[in-house]
Amino acid sequence: MPSAARQWLWIGGAAVVVIAVVAAVALWLPNRPNGPDGRHIVERKSAAQAFPGGLARQPANENQPGMRESAARQDGEQDTADRIAVIADQPIATWLTNPSVTQTRETVRDVVSNARKQDRTPVFVLYNVPDRDCGHYSKGGTTASEYVPWVRSAVRAMAGSKAVVLVEPDAIAQIQVCKRLQDSRLPLLRKAVDALTGHGLTVYLDGGNENRVPTASMAKWLREAGIDETQGFFTNVSNFYRVDQERAYADRLADAVGGDPHFVIDVSRNGQGWRGDWCNPKGAGLGQDPHVTAGSSRLDALLWVKTPGLSDGTCNGGPAAGQWWESYALALVENRKGD
Protein backbone atom coordinates (compact mmCIF):
# COMPACT_ATOMS: atom_id res chain seq x y z
CA MET A 1 0.00 0.00 0.00
CA PRO A 2 1.26 3.52 -0.71
CA SER A 3 2.31 5.58 2.23
CA ALA A 4 0.20 8.44 3.54
CA ALA A 5 2.68 10.89 2.01
CA ARG A 6 2.24 9.31 -1.41
CA GLN A 7 -1.52 9.42 -1.06
CA TRP A 8 -1.46 13.13 -0.32
CA LEU A 9 0.95 13.67 -3.23
CA TRP A 10 -1.45 11.86 -5.56
CA ILE A 11 -4.43 13.84 -4.26
CA GLY A 12 -2.51 17.09 -4.69
CA GLY A 13 -1.62 16.20 -8.27
CA ALA A 14 -5.21 15.39 -9.08
CA ALA A 15 -6.31 18.68 -7.59
CA VAL A 16 -3.89 20.56 -9.87
CA VAL A 17 -5.41 18.82 -12.90
CA VAL A 18 -8.95 19.70 -11.79
CA ILE A 19 -7.99 23.34 -11.26
CA ALA A 20 -6.42 23.48 -14.71
CA VAL A 21 -9.56 22.08 -16.31
CA VAL A 22 -11.77 24.53 -14.42
CA ALA A 23 -9.54 27.40 -15.51
CA ALA A 24 -9.73 26.32 -19.14
CA VAL A 25 -13.51 26.10 -18.97
CA ALA A 26 -13.64 29.54 -17.34
CA LEU A 27 -11.68 30.98 -20.25
CA TRP A 28 -14.11 29.41 -22.72
CA LEU A 29 -17.36 30.34 -21.01
CA PRO A 30 -17.21 34.14 -21.57
CA ASN A 31 -17.83 33.44 -25.26
CA ARG A 32 -20.85 31.34 -24.35
CA PRO A 33 -22.52 33.08 -21.39
CA ASN A 34 -25.42 31.48 -19.61
CA GLY A 35 -28.69 32.93 -20.80
CA PRO A 36 -32.25 32.65 -19.54
CA ASP A 37 -33.18 29.19 -18.29
CA GLY A 38 -29.52 28.18 -18.16
CA ARG A 39 -29.13 28.26 -21.97
CA HIS A 40 -25.68 28.68 -23.45
CA ILE A 41 -25.73 31.63 -25.85
CA VAL A 42 -22.98 32.81 -28.17
CA GLU A 43 -21.58 36.25 -27.59
CA ARG A 44 -23.15 38.53 -30.18
CA LYS A 45 -20.95 40.69 -32.39
CA SER A 46 -21.15 44.43 -32.75
CA ALA A 47 -22.67 45.73 -35.97
CA ALA A 48 -19.21 46.63 -37.26
CA GLN A 49 -17.93 43.14 -36.46
CA ALA A 50 -20.94 41.53 -38.14
CA PHE A 51 -20.48 43.59 -41.32
CA PRO A 52 -16.75 44.37 -41.59
CA GLY A 53 -16.08 47.09 -44.15
CA GLY A 54 -19.80 47.68 -44.76
CA LEU A 55 -22.05 46.14 -47.41
CA ALA A 56 -20.64 44.74 -50.65
CA ARG A 57 -22.29 45.27 -54.01
CA GLN A 58 -23.08 42.26 -56.15
CA PRO A 59 -20.93 41.24 -59.10
CA ALA A 60 -22.38 42.28 -62.45
CA ASN A 61 -23.53 38.79 -63.39
CA GLU A 62 -25.59 38.45 -60.18
CA ASN A 63 -27.09 41.96 -60.19
CA GLN A 64 -30.40 41.54 -62.02
CA PRO A 65 -31.33 45.25 -62.02
CA GLY A 66 -27.80 46.01 -63.22
CA MET A 67 -28.13 43.63 -66.15
CA ARG A 68 -31.42 45.24 -67.16
CA GLU A 69 -29.84 48.70 -66.81
CA SER A 70 -27.03 47.70 -69.17
CA ALA A 71 -29.48 46.32 -71.70
CA ALA A 72 -31.54 49.52 -71.58
CA ARG A 73 -28.45 51.63 -72.22
CA GLN A 74 -27.47 49.48 -75.17
CA ASP A 75 -30.98 49.98 -76.57
CA GLY A 76 -30.73 53.75 -76.16
CA GLU A 77 -33.28 53.85 -73.31
CA GLN A 78 -31.24 56.23 -71.20
CA ASP A 79 -34.05 57.51 -69.00
CA THR A 80 -35.15 53.99 -68.13
CA ALA A 81 -31.55 52.95 -67.49
CA ASP A 82 -30.97 55.92 -65.19
CA ARG A 83 -34.03 55.04 -63.12
CA ILE A 84 -33.12 51.37 -62.87
CA ALA A 85 -29.60 52.38 -61.82
CA VAL A 86 -31.15 53.79 -58.63
CA ILE A 87 -31.77 50.15 -57.68
CA ALA A 88 -28.74 48.53 -59.31
CA ASP A 89 -26.18 50.77 -57.62
CA GLN A 90 -27.14 49.66 -54.10
CA PRO A 91 -25.82 46.64 -52.15
CA ILE A 92 -28.42 43.89 -52.59
CA ALA A 93 -28.42 40.46 -50.97
CA THR A 94 -27.72 37.41 -53.15
CA TRP A 95 -30.37 34.70 -52.94
CA LEU A 96 -29.25 31.07 -53.14
CA THR A 97 -32.20 29.15 -54.57
CA ASN A 98 -30.65 26.65 -56.97
CA PRO A 99 -30.74 23.04 -55.72
CA SER A 100 -27.57 22.34 -57.70
CA VAL A 101 -24.64 22.05 -55.31
CA THR A 102 -22.17 22.89 -58.08
CA GLN A 103 -23.96 26.01 -59.31
CA THR A 104 -24.58 27.22 -55.78
CA ARG A 105 -20.87 26.94 -54.96
CA GLU A 106 -19.99 28.84 -58.12
CA THR A 107 -22.38 31.65 -57.21
CA VAL A 108 -21.03 31.86 -53.67
CA ARG A 109 -17.42 31.96 -54.81
CA ASP A 110 -18.17 34.65 -57.39
CA VAL A 111 -19.92 36.87 -54.83
CA VAL A 112 -17.27 36.27 -52.17
CA SER A 113 -14.43 37.07 -54.57
CA ASN A 114 -16.15 40.27 -55.68
CA ALA A 115 -16.79 41.34 -52.07
CA ARG A 116 -13.17 40.67 -51.16
CA LYS A 117 -12.05 43.09 -53.87
CA GLN A 118 -14.28 45.74 -52.29
CA ASP A 119 -13.08 44.81 -48.79
CA ARG A 120 -16.73 44.64 -47.77
CA THR A 121 -19.23 42.06 -46.50
CA PRO A 122 -21.37 39.95 -48.84
CA VAL A 123 -24.91 39.08 -47.77
CA PHE A 124 -26.44 35.74 -48.80
CA VAL A 125 -29.99 34.47 -48.43
CA LEU A 126 -30.52 30.71 -48.17
CA TYR A 127 -33.88 30.00 -49.81
CA ASN A 128 -34.01 26.33 -50.63
CA VAL A 129 -35.69 24.64 -47.68
CA PRO A 130 -37.99 21.68 -48.47
CA ASP A 131 -41.63 22.64 -49.07
CA ARG A 132 -40.56 26.24 -49.54
CA ASP A 133 -43.39 28.78 -49.29
CA CYS A 134 -45.74 25.91 -48.38
CA GLY A 135 -46.41 25.33 -52.08
CA HIS A 136 -47.46 28.90 -52.88
CA TYR A 137 -46.01 31.44 -55.36
CA SER A 138 -42.36 30.71 -54.46
CA LYS A 139 -42.76 26.97 -54.07
CA GLY A 140 -39.75 24.75 -54.56
CA GLY A 141 -36.66 23.87 -52.56
CA THR A 142 -34.69 20.68 -52.06
CA THR A 143 -35.76 17.42 -50.52
CA ALA A 144 -35.24 16.81 -46.80
CA SER A 145 -32.30 14.49 -47.46
CA GLU A 146 -30.62 16.97 -49.82
CA TYR A 147 -31.03 20.15 -47.78
CA VAL A 148 -28.32 19.88 -45.14
CA PRO A 149 -25.68 18.62 -47.63
CA TRP A 150 -26.62 21.58 -49.86
CA VAL A 151 -26.13 23.96 -46.92
CA ARG A 152 -22.81 22.38 -46.00
CA SER A 153 -21.57 22.74 -49.57
CA ALA A 154 -22.49 26.43 -49.61
CA VAL A 155 -20.79 26.89 -46.25
CA ARG A 156 -17.56 25.39 -47.54
CA ALA A 157 -17.55 27.98 -50.32
CA MET A 158 -18.26 30.80 -47.84
CA ALA A 159 -15.90 29.69 -45.06
CA GLY A 160 -13.55 32.44 -43.92
CA SER A 161 -15.29 35.13 -45.98
CA LYS A 162 -17.05 36.76 -42.99
CA ALA A 163 -20.25 36.67 -45.04
CA VAL A 164 -23.65 37.38 -43.53
CA VAL A 165 -26.17 34.58 -44.09
CA LEU A 166 -29.93 35.01 -43.75
CA VAL A 167 -31.46 31.58 -43.28
CA GLU A 168 -34.69 30.88 -45.13
CA PRO A 169 -37.15 33.80 -45.22
CA ASP A 170 -40.66 32.73 -44.17
CA ALA A 171 -39.40 29.32 -43.05
CA ILE A 172 -40.32 29.87 -39.41
CA ALA A 173 -43.11 32.42 -39.66
CA GLN A 174 -45.03 30.28 -42.15
CA ILE A 175 -45.45 27.50 -39.59
CA GLN A 176 -48.26 29.63 -38.17
CA VAL A 177 -50.44 29.00 -41.23
CA CYS A 178 -48.88 25.85 -42.70
CA LYS A 179 -49.34 23.28 -39.97
CA ARG A 180 -47.71 20.45 -41.90
CA LEU A 181 -44.36 22.16 -41.30
CA GLN A 182 -44.58 22.00 -37.50
CA ASP A 183 -42.74 18.75 -36.92
CA SER A 184 -40.07 18.85 -39.63
CA ARG A 185 -39.13 22.48 -40.26
CA LEU A 186 -37.47 23.54 -36.99
CA PRO A 187 -35.21 20.47 -36.57
CA LEU A 188 -34.06 20.93 -40.18
CA LEU A 189 -33.24 24.60 -39.62
CA ARG A 190 -31.38 23.63 -36.46
CA LYS A 191 -29.19 21.34 -38.57
CA ALA A 192 -28.59 24.19 -41.01
CA VAL A 193 -27.50 26.43 -38.13
CA ASP A 194 -25.15 23.70 -36.90
CA ALA A 195 -23.63 23.49 -40.39
CA LEU A 196 -23.15 27.27 -40.54
CA THR A 197 -21.56 27.56 -37.10
CA GLY A 198 -17.80 27.83 -36.68
CA HIS A 199 -16.85 29.10 -40.13
CA GLY A 200 -16.46 32.82 -39.51
CA LEU A 201 -19.95 33.63 -40.79
CA THR A 202 -22.67 35.81 -39.25
CA VAL A 203 -26.05 34.10 -39.25
CA TYR A 204 -29.58 35.44 -38.80
CA LEU A 205 -32.79 33.38 -38.66
CA ASP A 206 -36.28 34.20 -39.90
CA GLY A 207 -38.08 36.48 -37.45
CA GLY A 208 -41.12 37.11 -39.65
CA ASN A 209 -42.59 40.58 -39.24
CA GLU A 210 -45.12 42.39 -37.08
CA ASN A 211 -48.77 41.35 -37.14
CA ARG A 212 -47.91 37.88 -38.43
CA VAL A 213 -47.08 35.48 -35.60
CA PRO A 214 -47.62 35.97 -31.85
CA THR A 215 -44.32 37.07 -30.34
CA ALA A 216 -44.24 34.26 -27.78
CA SER A 217 -44.70 31.63 -30.50
CA MET A 218 -42.02 33.14 -32.72
CA ALA A 219 -39.57 33.37 -29.80
CA LYS A 220 -40.16 29.71 -28.93
CA TRP A 221 -39.65 28.60 -32.53
CA LEU A 222 -36.48 30.68 -32.89
CA ARG A 223 -35.00 29.02 -29.81
CA GLU A 224 -35.89 25.59 -31.21
CA ALA A 225 -34.28 26.53 -34.54
CA GLY A 226 -30.97 27.35 -32.83
CA ILE A 227 -30.96 31.12 -32.45
CA ASP A 228 -28.68 30.79 -29.42
CA GLU A 229 -25.89 29.83 -31.84
CA THR A 230 -26.49 32.79 -34.20
CA GLN A 231 -26.24 36.57 -34.27
CA GLY A 232 -30.03 36.84 -34.16
CA PHE A 233 -32.89 37.20 -36.64
CA PHE A 234 -34.16 39.23 -39.60
CA THR A 235 -37.56 40.83 -40.16
CA ASN A 236 -39.67 42.35 -42.95
CA VAL A 237 -38.03 40.37 -45.77
CA SER A 238 -40.01 40.97 -48.98
CA ASN A 239 -42.47 42.99 -46.93
CA PHE A 240 -43.40 46.64 -46.57
CA TYR A 241 -43.62 47.69 -42.92
CA ARG A 242 -41.91 50.90 -41.82
CA VAL A 243 -38.64 50.74 -39.93
CA ASP A 244 -40.07 52.18 -36.71
CA GLN A 245 -42.81 49.54 -36.66
CA GLU A 246 -40.46 46.67 -37.43
CA ARG A 247 -37.86 47.85 -34.95
CA ALA A 248 -40.44 47.98 -32.16
CA TYR A 249 -41.60 44.47 -33.07
CA ALA A 250 -38.02 43.17 -33.29
CA ASP A 251 -37.15 44.57 -29.87
CA ARG A 252 -40.19 42.85 -28.36
CA LEU A 253 -39.22 39.61 -30.05
CA ALA A 254 -35.61 39.89 -28.89
CA ASP A 255 -36.80 40.40 -25.31
CA ALA A 256 -39.05 37.34 -25.62
CA VAL A 257 -36.23 35.19 -27.02
CA GLY A 258 -33.83 36.30 -24.28
CA GLY A 259 -30.06 36.45 -24.45
CA ASP A 260 -29.95 39.75 -26.39
CA PRO A 261 -30.21 38.56 -30.01
CA HIS A 262 -29.49 41.22 -32.64
CA PHE A 263 -31.52 41.78 -35.79
CA VAL A 264 -31.55 43.28 -39.29
CA ILE A 265 -34.51 44.69 -41.20
CA ASP A 266 -35.30 44.54 -44.92
CA VAL A 267 -36.02 48.10 -46.13
CA SER A 268 -35.86 47.45 -49.87
CA ARG A 269 -39.51 48.33 -50.56
CA ASN A 270 -40.90 49.88 -47.38
CA GLY A 271 -40.59 53.56 -48.34
CA GLN A 272 -44.37 54.02 -48.39
CA GLY A 273 -45.08 51.64 -45.53
CA TRP A 274 -47.66 48.85 -45.46
CA ARG A 275 -49.95 49.06 -48.49
CA GLY A 276 -52.59 46.57 -47.37
CA ASP A 277 -51.14 43.60 -49.25
CA TRP A 278 -47.89 41.60 -49.11
CA CYS A 279 -47.94 40.58 -52.79
CA ASN A 280 -46.97 43.25 -55.34
CA PRO A 281 -48.98 46.00 -53.64
CA LYS A 282 -49.65 49.15 -55.64
CA GLY A 283 -47.99 52.38 -54.47
CA ALA A 284 -44.96 50.76 -52.82
CA GLY A 285 -41.64 52.59 -52.97
CA LEU A 286 -37.98 51.97 -52.31
CA GLY A 287 -36.91 52.34 -48.70
CA GLN A 288 -33.84 54.12 -47.42
CA ASP A 289 -30.42 53.13 -48.71
CA PRO A 290 -29.08 49.94 -47.09
CA HIS A 291 -26.43 50.52 -44.45
CA VAL A 292 -24.82 49.17 -41.30
CA THR A 293 -25.87 50.95 -38.12
CA ALA A 294 -23.63 52.71 -35.63
CA GLY A 295 -24.12 49.72 -33.32
CA SER A 296 -25.73 51.52 -30.39
CA SER A 297 -28.62 49.03 -30.23
CA ARG A 298 -29.56 45.49 -31.25
CA LEU A 299 -30.32 46.69 -34.79
CA ASP A 300 -27.22 45.76 -36.81
CA ALA A 301 -28.22 46.89 -40.31
CA LEU A 302 -30.95 48.00 -42.66
CA LEU A 303 -30.64 45.81 -45.76
CA TRP A 304 -32.04 45.41 -49.23
CA VAL A 305 -32.81 41.72 -48.97
CA LYS A 306 -35.58 41.44 -51.56
CA THR A 307 -34.32 42.61 -54.94
CA PRO A 308 -36.54 45.58 -55.87
CA GLY A 309 -38.18 44.91 -59.21
CA LEU A 310 -38.59 41.17 -58.80
CA SER A 311 -42.19 40.01 -58.62
CA ASP A 312 -43.71 38.50 -55.48
CA GLY A 313 -45.82 36.19 -57.63
CA THR A 314 -48.71 36.12 -60.07
CA CYS A 315 -50.82 38.57 -58.08
CA ASN A 316 -51.88 42.16 -58.84
CA GLY A 317 -50.79 41.71 -62.43
CA GLY A 318 -47.29 40.41 -61.68
CA PRO A 319 -45.28 37.72 -63.46
CA ALA A 320 -44.06 34.57 -61.71
CA ALA A 321 -42.29 35.00 -58.38
CA GLY A 322 -38.68 36.06 -58.78
CA GLN A 323 -39.11 37.39 -62.33
CA TRP A 324 -38.09 40.92 -63.29
CA TRP A 325 -41.10 43.24 -63.56
CA GLU A 326 -39.91 46.47 -65.06
CA SER A 327 -43.00 48.60 -64.65
CA TYR A 328 -43.10 47.69 -60.96
CA ALA A 329 -39.39 48.45 -60.57
CA LEU A 330 -39.85 51.89 -62.12
CA ALA A 331 -42.82 52.55 -59.84
CA LEU A 332 -40.71 51.65 -56.80
CA VAL A 333 -38.17 54.25 -57.90
CA GLU A 334 -40.88 56.82 -58.55
CA ASN A 335 -42.34 56.25 -55.08
CA ARG A 336 -39.02 55.96 -53.28
CA LYS A 337 -38.61 57.28 -49.77
CA GLY A 338 -36.96 60.70 -49.69
CA ASP A 339 -33.75 61.26 -47.70
Examine the residue annotation and report whether 79 is marked as an active-site residue of this protein. Answer: no
Q: How many CA atoms lie within 13 A of 181 on its CB side?
A: 22
Nearest CA among 293, 291, 330, 329 for reference residue 92: 291
- Strand residue runs (E) in 82-207: 94-96, 123-126, 164-167, 202-206
Catalytic status, residue 170:
yes
Torsion angle of the four alpha carbons 130, 131, 133, 138, in this order, in degrees rounded to the nearest 10: 80
Rg value, the chain, Cα: 23
Q: How many residues does the chain have?
A: 339
How far apart, in Å, are the Cα atoms of 65 and each of 69, 83, 121, 235, 317?
A: 6, 10, 20, 23, 20
Q: What is the pairing mode between strands 291-292 and 299-303?
A: antiparallel
Instruction: Provide the 10 A C-beta neighbour count for residue 28.
Output: 9
Of 110, 170, 206, 300, the active-site residue reads 170
Contact 115, 121 (CB under 8 A): yes
- Catalytic, out of 110, 131, 300, 312: 312
Q: How far is CA 305 from CA 45, 101, 105, 188, 234, in A?
A: 20, 22, 20, 23, 10
Q: Is 206 a catalytic residue?
A: no
Please give the span between the terminal C-alpha atoms of the chain, in angstroms, as a whole number.
Answer: 85
Catalytic residue, chosen from 131, 133, 228, 266, is 133
| DSSP calls for 142-154 | --HHHHHHHHHHH
Could you list the active site residues?
Answer: 133, 170, 312
